Amino acid sequence: MEAQNTRPLNRRPLIIAGILLGIGQGGFFDGIVFHQILQWHHMFTNIETSQTVNGFELNTIGDGFFHAFDWLMTIAGIVTLWLAVKRDDVPKSTPIFIGSFTIGAGLFNLVEGIINHHILQIHHVRPGAHQLAWDLSFLGIGLLAIAIGWVILLRTKVSAPVTK
């Protein structure tokens, strides 16, 4: 039996789609769980409390822009995924998609945490006692998610038969 020649597939479009969807869904998770369900913070709670009418209005519009960003990232991810799966040179690989999605969700935590919690200090994960520990844990979860996604991508090899 003759060995079949293979060529590598282009993983990049699927990875980009997964990362964009991970960023969007990571943001939605943050906004839904921390902002709405637990009500630990809103977008600008360090700037103005949400306990006054003016503060509530400011924080509501901030949360709205935050969710609009999440929605745009999700739409960009869906469009990118749609275009990727239509291509013959892009693998339809669940591990590549899951690894990329996990990286995207981790990137959301890392970037949002560094910018909003530490640089701008417009809000914290859980203000009050131990807020630094909460903020650092948020960054740690982001780094862990990125590492897990990266390992999944490194362990996933795909190739397609060369057709003559």
Which residues are within 8 A (CB) of 2 and not within 5 positions of it... i.e. 6 or more apart?
none
Domain enclosing residue 76, as ranges: 10-27+70-156
Residue 58 counted as domain residue: no
At which residue do the structure tokens 């400011």 appear? 58
Residue 85 counted as domain residue: yes
pLDDT of 125 reads: 95
Query: How many domains does the structure of the chain reveal?
Result: 1
Residue 55 counted as domain residue: no
pLDDT confidence band for 51 (50 / 70 / 90): confident
Of the candidates 161, 122, 156, the residue with the CA atom closest to the CA atom of residue 11: 156
Residue 60 counted as domain residue: no
pLDDT of 50 reads: 82
Tens-place pLDDT, residues 89-115:
999 999 999 999 999 999 999 999 999
